[in-house]
Structures are given as structure tokens and as C-alpha cells.
Chains A and B, each alone.
Chain A
Amino acid sequence: MSSGDVWILGINMTKFGKHTDKDTVDLAAQAAMAALADGGVTMADMGVLAAGCLMGGGGIAQMIQKQIGQTGIPAYNVSNACATGATALRVAYMSIKSGECDFGLAVGVEKLSGVGLLSGGSRKDDGKTWNRAGRYGAVASTDGRIGTDTMPGVFAQVGMEYAHKYGGADFKLFAQISEKNHAHSTLNPLAAYQKRFTLDEIMNDMMIAYPNTRAMCSANCDGGAAAVLVSDEKLKTLSLEQQRRAVKISASVLTSDPYEEACQVLPDVNTLTRRAAAQAYAKAGIGPEDLDLVELHDCFATAELVHYDNLGLCKPGEAADFFKSGATWRDGSTPVNVSGGLESKGHPIAATGIANIWEVCHHLRGEAGDRQIQGAKVGLAHVIGLGSACGIHILEKSGL
């Protein structure tokens, strides 16, 4: 009798960083073929493909098929901001859950090296006379003239809003979060940057948007990640080794913004994360205290703090004290971003939502080498796509 569960059978991420000799299709194909090999299956087994490449135009799923195997299966091109990878994985999950197929492949890829500052709705100043355009009838770009659309600035405000609401968080504390993640990255050979920084170096680095200095911002880089999912029923027919290494998806949740008063002027990354977390814990039948590790969306150091609270890792309003206790360092009670996080591992947007699941799986399988969290049985992976979308996956080690 099948439990109806869906499992991760194979998963892979490429080295994150600068890949001058590879395009997005090359990186996606590399990750996809490695994930298939990791799972001991081929494209012939796959019943569905979901793939995303946010900045790379459309049709990435079909381009991957042409690169590694065209079998005529349904192919979904997924675009959901920084939650694109997690959304692609969830599409494969839902296809299997619905009974349409037994195996699915999800891929996320991005090339972002050297892209520079990312922002939202900028437009060029145009024409010789004022000309109204856009949703606010503005005569020129509002970015920088009515607040900021730049990502470091938006997420700085997210963190500062928390600081205002609860106190206890300041420039130094945000920098200390970055110090932790950079320290963690030294154990991750696939991270774009593996350099440990002192707190002084982080605080005195180039200021981008106070309180986020350059070291406190996610690293734009190239990378791909892919996962092969399998139904519980099919997994039982595979080898003992495949079953032993399979990781159970105990919860797969995607939420969007419910209406909140201020969400039209500052993206609310909190409410949808809190809701996703509540749903995920209920589905998995566990609580935050059961988590052995968490990979959360530290697109900026200011963002990591609010998600301690949003994911229920600490009591409401106590994220600053929770961090100061050392809980989120790799030797703490709830290790967070032992991969180095987006600040040092890097953030090739559409790959991120699968890469953080890869990190958790790596520990649950006991294959994380020097950075292995000993005895890890349950982990959580979280991403936020601004706009917004929140993806949370709770993953559990096989009982075999």
C-alpha cells in the first residue's frame, strides 16, 4: 500500500560562480544529467519536466530536452522570481502526487555573473516633454525618487522594519549574521565565495544600502540545480541503495501574499512565509524544534533575521536574541545556512530554490563531508520570490 508520499531520488547542484565557458543550457543540462545519474535513472523514466531560468527568456524546459533527451513528456516553463526553482520542483511534485506519473525532473538555472545591482521597476527617462506612464502615472522613473526599488534597499527596509518593531537589531547584528554565513561557506566547495570575513571587514566593506554592505548582499553568480522526484509506489520497486538515499518530501508548500495594509509600498515577505511555515509544519507533523538544519532565503543579511521569526525558529519578536545566543551557527541548536547561504554560496536566481533543497538532502544522506551536521534527520528549505511567492519544503531522511 502506497503512502502517497513523494521522494527526492536524485539531486545535484553545479559549482556556483563564474562559468564563462558555459551558457544556461549547458549548466542546466549538467545539473539535470547529474541528478538523473544520482538517482540511477534516465530521461526515459521521466514523466514530467519543470524548469526555470528567470533572466534567460522562455522555453528553457524544451531547450533542456533538446540537450539531454526529447521524449514528448509535458514540459513546464516556470517563472516565479527567486522562488522559481522551488516552484519547478513543486510542479514535478504535484504531477506525481496527482498520479499522472511516477518520476519527474525539476531544473533551475541562471547566469548572473557581472549583472550588478538588481532592481525592480526602473524605466528610462524619455522624451522632451513630461509624459505620464506606469501604474502611478509618473513622469519619470520613481526608483530613487519615491523610495527605492533596488533589492539591497528593499530588503534593508524589511530588516529595519523588524528592528523598529521589536528592537535589538542594529547594523552590527545584521553584519554578524553575514559573518556567520561567510564562515560557514569555507566548508562548502561549491560556494561561489569561500572566504571568511571579520566583522570589521564586513562592516567596513562598501555600503550598498544601509545597513547592507556588499558582503551582506547575495552574490550574483552562475549556476544550475536539478532534482529527480519519484512516487512512493515506484520507489519501493527500486534498489535498496536508491531507497536508502531517497529523501522524503514531508511538506511542499507554496504561498503568495495575502492582502496587508503596507504591502503596496514595501513587499511583505513575512506574512506569506509565516503562513507557508504553518502549513508545512502541519503537513509534515513536526515543529520547528524538530529541525536539524534550515536553509533560508538570506538574499541579504537583513532578510535572514526576519525569517528566524517567520519560520518559528524563535519566539515572536525574539529573532535578535535568538541569533545572539549562537543558535544559528553550525554548532548551534538550529543551524541556519550551513551552505554559506546566498551571501557566499551565491544566488543564481532560478537555481536557488533547488540548490537549498540539495544542501538539506546532502546532510540528510550523510554525504556533506566536512560540513556534515551530524545525525541530521529533518531539514527545511525556504525561498522568497519578491512579488511575492514563498516556497517551503520539509525534508526527511529515509528510515532505511
Chain B
Amino acid sequence: MSEQIPFVEYLHLAPTPHLVAHQCTSCGARFFDRRNACASCFGTSFADADIATEGFVRSFTIVSFAAPGIPVPFVSAIVECDGTSVRGNLTNVSPDPEHVSLGMRVRLTTYVIGSDEAGTEAVNFAFEPIS
């Protein structure tokens, strides 16, 4: 099996795919990128926090015009995972307003976005409806 790497550093593939945030140890604010100090309380100590892999769609849009190489239409969503807002695409759902709805329950899933010349596969995350 070819080697797999996560598409972004905050996606962890093992033991099961999940997102990891940097959580401020003082106030609990969570960030997917690195911060010198907490944007909320200015604390400087952070610890890794696993993000819930299920949530609901708080907002979405169905994008018909995107950068070259991005298949359209696709659904971009803001998913609230147990109090933490996550941005991601929806997958395994027809990208139209009849099938995507505000408040729908979704869970994290992963897919291979492509391989490089060394054969390494990059794995990205998305959210799919919980049927």
C-alpha cells in the first residue's frame, strides 16, 4: 500500500481520521493554525485537542464558480462539531438545495485527493450526511 499523508496538518489519520486543534490552556479557544498567543485571552500555552467527528451544518453554500481544477458544483459548509466550528466540503450528497439543508447531521470522512510522483497519496477530509 502506498504511503498516505494528510492534506493539512490539523487532520490526523490515525488511529481513525479526526481533526486536532491547538487549544488555549487558559480559556479553551481552539485554533487550527499556530498562534503566538491566544486571540481570545492572550495566553501563550496551547495543548492539542481532538475535535468531535460528528456535527451539524450551521451554514453552507453551493459553489458553481471556483478556482481552476476544482470540480463544481460543490458544497462548502460550516459544521458545528460539539461546539467547535469547522470548515469543510460536504461529500456523498447531491450538491443541490433539495439535498443539502441547514441543520443536517454530518460526520467526518476522508478521501484521496491525488498522488505525487513518489506515489504518496494525500488524504483530505470532508463531511458526509448521517443517514
Mask: chain B, 89-106; 1 = CB below 8 Å from A; 0 = not: 100000001000011000
B76 touches A164 (CB 8 A): no
Assuming the contacts A146-B87, A164-B58, asked whether A209 and B116 have C-beta atoms less than 8 A apart, the reply is no
A266 CB–B CB distance under 8 Å: yes
A residues 123-180 with Cβ under 8 Å of B?
125, 127-130, 132, 135-148, 150, 152-153, 156-158, 160-161, 163-164, 171
B66 CB–A CB distance under 8 Å: yes
Find A138's partner among B7, B60, B76, B86 (CB 8 Å cutoff): B7
Of all A-B residue pairs in the complex, the 10 with the closest CB atoms, nearest first, are A144-B70, A137-B9, A156-B61, A262-B85, A210-B62, A161-B59, A265-B87, A147-B87, A135-B33, A164-B102
Residues of B within 8 A of A136 (CB): 8-10, 32-33
Residues of B within 8 A of A138 (CB): 7-9
Mask: chain A, 216-238; 1 = CB below 8 Å from B; 0 = not: 00000000000000000000000
A264 CB–B CB distance under 8 Å: yes
| A374 → chain B closest CB, angstroms | 39
Assuming the contacts A140-B122, A259-B40, asked whether A265 and B85 have C-beta atoms less than 8 A apart, the reply is yes
| B61 → chain A closest CB, angstroms | 4
A145 touches B7 (CB 8 A): yes
Find B78's partner among A137, A142, A259, A262 (CB 8 Å cutoff): A262
B39 touches A157 (CB 8 A): no
A122 CB–B CB distance under 8 Å: yes
A119 CB–B CB distance under 8 Å: yes
Pairs A–B under 8 Å by Cβ, sample size 18: A122-B67, A127-B116, A129-B117, A130-B116, A130-B120, A132-B9, A135-B33, A139-B7, A147-B77, A157-B59, A160-B61, A160-B102, A164-B57, A207-B62, A207-B73, A208-B64, A259-B29, A261-B30
A266 to B78 Cα, complex, angstroms:
7
Residues of B with Cβ closer than 8 Å to A?
5, 7-10, 29-34, 39-40, 57-67, 69-70, 73-74, 76-78, 83-89, 97, 102-103, 113, 116-118, 120, 122, 124-125
* Interface residues of A, count at CB 8 A: 47
| B57 → chain A closest CB, angstroms | 8
B67 touches A265 (CB 8 A): no
